[in-house]
Amino acid sequence: MSRGRLIAIGIGLLVILILAIASTFKVRQGEQALLLQFGDPRAVITEPGLYVKIPFVQNVEYFERRILDYDVPVEEVIGSDQKRLVVDTFTRYRIVDPLKFYQTVGSEAAVRARLGAILNARTREVLGQVPLITVLSGERRDLMGRIAALVNLDADGFGVDVLDVRIKRADLPVQNSQAIYLRMQTEREREAKEFRAQGAEMAQRIRSSAERERTVLIAEAERDAQILRGEGDAQRIRIFGEAVSIDPEFYSFHRSMEAYGRAFSSEDTTMVLSPDSEFFEYFDTAPGLGD
């Protein structure tokens, strides 16, 4: 076999291989394809596998079957109470009709731009009907559901199913945040002063009550002490009187002896008295004895 014939056979095999490759295409798991012939749709393929096409006449456009995420740029929204709010949202969607998708938007980049505009418009519409406090409360889930329903309705014409819309972050603008934080700080300082004033008033009331109770307790204690002291003195006087009434002569003698002891306690005591003074009554006679 001549060399030229071998080259021709090789070229033929190469052409056949190229045609075979150009005549087939593969759809992977998680993909869907649209078969086009000179730009016109011919078939929609949603199942994975190996397929055949007319080489150099037909081409294939691939689209995702999986759920796609799109993080929408941050937008500033004005609520029904005229307060501004910076909202950061994202959406999750899926291409359900490749033909409609190709005819209306053509690519994922184009559908993201369209979805972003729709989502921003619907977010402004829904959040603009409620005050700021509602967006920051537990009612946010209901608001997101309303936004998702409206966006899904608008995106139906693109062959896209919007599965979810979420608000990742909802903050006040920087200038509003500073003003609100300052107002909150002033409010907290005012509350702190009120609490301190109430505490000081309560402390003063407690101190006054304690001082009053202390004064009352001391007065009652002094009163009881005076009563007990008087009762003791009265009992002492009564006992003393009873003792004296038993033997008055002995009591007189005892008192005289005590007077002698006090009078003559010092060695240099000098006394000038009349001999018949009552002070010397018991010097000559003893109690109970005759003259």
pLDDT of residue 285: 55
Task: For residue 10, tell me if it sits in a domain.
Answer: yes
Sign of CA dihedral 279, 283, 289, 291: negative
Side-chain-facing half-sphere of 69: CA atoms under 13 Å = 5
Does residue 75 share a domain with residue 57?
no
- pLDDT digit string (tens) for 250-284? 777 777 777 767 766 666 666 666 666 666 666 55
pLDDT of residue 225: 92
Does residue 144 share a domain with residue 52?
no
Residue 216: what are its φ and ψ, rounded to 5°? -65, -45
Does residue 43 share a domain with residue 23?
yes
pLDDT of residue 277: 62
Mean pLDDT of the chain, nearest integer? 80
Residue 75: what are its φ and ψ, rounded to 5°? -130, 155
Does residue 91 share a domain with residue 20?
no
User: Is the pLDDT score of 249 beyond 60?
Assistant: yes
Last residue of a domain, one of 172, 198, 225: 172
Local confidence band at 290 (pLDDT 50, 70, 90 cut-offs): very low
Residue, of 167 and 266, whose pLDDT is higher: 167
Beta bridge partners of 71: 90
Domain carrying residue 35: 3-64
Does residue 87 share a domain with residue 107?
yes
Does residue 57 share a domain with residue 136?
no
Sign of CA dihedral 38, 42, 44, 49: negative
Run of H or E residues at 279? none
Residue, of 143 and 135, whose pLDDT is higher: 143
Does residue 73 share a domain with residue 30?
no
The residue type at 45: I
Task: For residue 257, tell me if it sits in a domain.
Answer: yes
Task: For residue 18, tell me if it sits in a domain.
Answer: yes
Mean pLDDT score, 226-252:
82
Last residue of a domain, one of 151, 172, 193: 172
- pLDDT digit string (tens) for 70-123? 888 888 787 777 777 778 888 888 888 888 888 888 888 888 888 888 888 888
Rounded percentage of the chain residues whose pLDDT exceeds 70: 84
Does residue 50 share a domain with residue 115?
no
pLDDT of residue 88: 81
Domain count, the chain: 3
User: Is the pLDDT score of 18 beyond 70?
Assistant: yes
- pLDDT digit string (tens) for 54-80? 887 888 888 888 888 888 888 878 777
Does residue 103 share a domain with residue 164?
yes
